[in-house]
Structure 1
């Protein structure tokens, strides 16, 4: 079975080579790596060129991460799709281990996700995230949690192409394409996001990306949920609307703390900043536990 690793790229010159090498150096060798450069101006495209012919490159001009992902998926020849952000790092046995999990599941009805280590700009591990296992929950409870957040960081997602054929591609208009895709798959097409114990990637947190990667879930998230719920029968929709109202009331204080966190970092010494980032990751983990 062939696996296509899709990497949207935009101005990631500091971390790109490490990311690409991690995709190429997998223990499972039937892979293709497709990097979609979205108009980088910092030398990222030139770095990608040094990896040809080991990787395929697609050039776009500021179309956004969702459109870049879609271009890579549509150009891929693999049966399976592995998403990877341009500053993250795959563990060497990630693909092999994810395929082993996939062998026991219905390919068109599951998106597999796994665990990550958090790393900083110097690739030092500063924390870890072991995903909660919701596999035994019934579909309503599972989808209620989905209204509030993704299951798994997208750089751990692993899915068969038939999921895209069934559910469609990433929404190129909304700012929160991964959240919208997750909701659409789960609520409208009965695709389950399946938790595995595979440690998939090193997920990078650094000043250039910290707000984008951790905070983007909040802005307009409820609007996306409401739009998706419009596709459901009215009786089912009303149950989810009640659940969403409860989620909103539980989330307000955490949102405020999250938005106030990042501006403080730039005024701190590096060693203190790293400690605070690690503490914040623990706070994120605590907030996730409240979803159970």
Structure 2
């Protein structure tokens, strides 16, 4: 179809979905991206060595979803591999058990188009207990149901050159890799715009609730220490 004179070509968006044994929720996550009212849209599911039917779920969407596979290496490595295969001008991410909200992509892209200096557009997130969790088990899921500023990869869109300037997600971290990436982006002076509305719904379920691992705490401490050390080095050289 030819483009009308004077109209601007919308940016192409690549959405990367890392997935490890996520067959139960992956289809719903993919549909939340397909239901967005922005086109063209590229969805790349990176199968991180799953042993369930995750790959079959992704293949069930046909040509609308590209499936890339790797031996199990973690979410950070899976996102990085997805970016390597991505062709879009703008990058977006979604975990296999979470959901994008309706219309979020258009709203975020409008900010990028109207603010040339903006590199990143991020929004708020809300948590919800997965519907298959019945009472009284649901009572054990203690969380703030209200919207909160997101520090999750699924809540942002980023211009591809800006992402490449920061570099990929740290594969040395099992958790906290997005916080690490975001801190590095801020240190480089990337401009981020925070939208007030919810753009991501984070699912709480048996596989991700109530587990506060010692190694996870150590990962976040490592992220903070690394950021402080980079700041000290910058101050010494300034």
- The question of a shared fold, defined as TM-score above 0.5 by the shorter chain, is answered with yes
Give distance in 2, aligned partners of 1:16 and 1:213: 24
Q: Distance in 1 between matches of 2:48 and 2:148?
A: 31
Measured on the aligned residues, the alpha-carbon RMSD in Å equals: 2.5
- Asked if residue 184 in structure 1 is aligned to residue 184 in structure 2, the reply is yes
Say if 1:183 and 1:225, in contact at 8 Å, map to a contact too: no
Output the CA distance in 2 between the equivalents of 1:72 and 1:221. Answer: 24
Q: Are 2:78 and 1:65 equivalent residues in the alignment?
A: no
Return the offset for 1:162. 1.0
What residue number does 1:4 align with? 14
Task: Pick the structure with more helix per residue.
Answer: 1
Could you say if the C-alpha distance between residues 98 and 128 of structure 1 is closer, same or farther in structure 2, counting changes exceeding 3 Å?
same
Q: Which runs of 5+ in 2 are unaligned?
A: 1-10, 134-142
Which residue of the partner structure matches residue 194 of structure 2? Answer: 195
In structure 2, do the counterparts of structure 1 residues 214 and 156 end up closer, same or farther at CA, with 3 Å as the change threshold? farther
**Change beyond 3 A, Cα 1:234–1:170:** closer
Instruction: Look up the match of 1:119.
Output: 128
Is the contact made by 1:97 and 1:198 (CA closer than 8 Å) also made in structure 2?
A: no
Q: What secondary structure is seen at the aligned counterpart in 2 of 1:53? A: helix
Alignment of 1:125-164 (within 5 A): 127-131=145-149, 152-164=151-163
Alpha-carbon offset, residue 54 of structure 1: 0.9
Q: What is the deviation of 1:212? A: 6.2
Q: Distance in 1 between matches of 2:60 and 2:228?
A: 45
Q: Is the 8 A contact 2:151 2:179 kept in 1?
A: no
Aligned partner (choices 99, 105, 113) of residue 103 of structure 1: 113
User: Alpha carbons of 1:212 and 1:181: their partners in 2 closer, same or farther (altered >3 Å)?
Assistant: farther
Residues 20, 49 of structure 2: 8 Å contact kept? yes
Q: Closer, same or farther in 2 for the Cα pair 1:14/1:216, shift >3 Å?
A: farther
The alpha-carbon deviation at position 235 of structure 1 amounts to: 7.5
TM-score by length of 1: 0.67
Q: Is the 8 A contact 2:45 2:65 kept in 1?
A: yes
Instruction: Please give the alpha-carbon distance, in whole angstroms, between the structure 2 residues aligned to 1:22 and 1:120.
Output: 17
User: Could you tell me how far 1:198 is from its partner in structure 2?
Assistant: 3.4
**8 Å contact from structure 2 (residues 173, 219) kept in 1:** no
User: Does 1 or 2 have the higher relative contact order (CA < 8 Å, sep 6+)?
Assistant: 2
Deviation string, structure 1 residues 234-279 (Cα, Å, up to 9, x no partner): 5747xxxxxxxxxxxxxxxxxxxxxxxxxxxxxxxxxxxxxxxxxx
Task: Give 1:36's aligned residue.
Answer: 46
2:66 paired residue number: 56
**CA–CA distance in 1 between the matches of 2:227 and 2:216?**
16
Q: Residues 50 and 231 from structure 1, CA distance in 2 versus in 1: closer, same or farther, beyond 3 angstroms?
A: same
TM-aligned CA distance change 1:213 to 1:38, over 3 Å: farther
Distance 1:234 1:40, change over 3 A: closer
Give the superposition deviation at 1:104: 3.1
Instruction: Tell whether 2:214 aligns with 1:205.
Output: no
Q: Is the 8 A contact 1:110 1:191 kept in 2?
A: yes
Q: Which residue of 2 aligns with 1:240?
A: none
- Closer, same or farther: CA 216–26 of 1 in aligned 2, 3 Å: farther
Unaligned runs of 5+ in 1: 132-150, 238-292
